[in-house]
Amino acid sequence: MSHSTRETLRHVLLLGYDDLRARLARRFGSVELASDALHETWLRLETAAPAATILSPEHYVLQMAANAALKNLNARNRFVALSDAKLAIGLADDAPDQERNSIARSDLRAFARAIAELTPRRREILMLSRLKGMPLWAIAERLGVSQRFVEMELKHALAFCALRLDRTVVKRFGPRLRKGSRTEGDGSG
């Protein structure tokens, strides 16, 4: 890679770092992975093989970073946690007993009834957010409403289900509520 091409790519990486990191984080679901990939891309620019003319330096850098992220992700997935290994060889038996199975089935039926009682929009928001893991901004876009509206509908859906199941809502965002409040949470995500 010629000196001027390398400098151009470095320039693109430096000036577009925040945008590149955001795009990679959205694509791979991790800001840490995106940052690591961009760091590795910076290092690879030093040793990159000569390339023909690069038509789109931005796309080239993004593709290099995406490849680095995939490589890192694949490497992370090759490792097995100690707890998983112990379970695999039978050192720990976390299988629920019959009583726990019965309680879980009962809770599941109660939860299904609570979800069925929700309005269609609240049900859809709850399912998209909690079961499919869709970000609130994407749900808002999909439904053609504001993100704040989605947040409020989700809050109401969770509170309703918690009330039906006689449970406490563990908040994922926002300030802590007073002690003893029905929707008291730990304030952590």
pLDDT tens per residue, range 121-156: 999 999 999 889 999 999 999 999 999 999 999 999
Cα–Cα nearest to 57, from 5, 19, 4: 5
pTM equals 0.41
Length of the chain: 189
Q: Are residues 64 and 113 in the same domain?
A: no
More confident residue, 95 or 99: 99
Packing angle between helix 31-47 and helix 17-28, nearest 10 degrees? 120
Cα distances (angstroms) measured from residue 48 to each of 6, 13, 40, 55, 129: 9, 15, 12, 17, 41
In a domain, 90, yes or no: no
Q: Are residues 28 and 70 in the same domain?
A: yes
Q: Are residues 73 and 114 in the same domain?
A: no
Q: Are residues 106 and 59 in the same domain?
A: no
**DSSP state, residue 1:** -
Q: Residue 8's domain spans which residues? A: 3-78
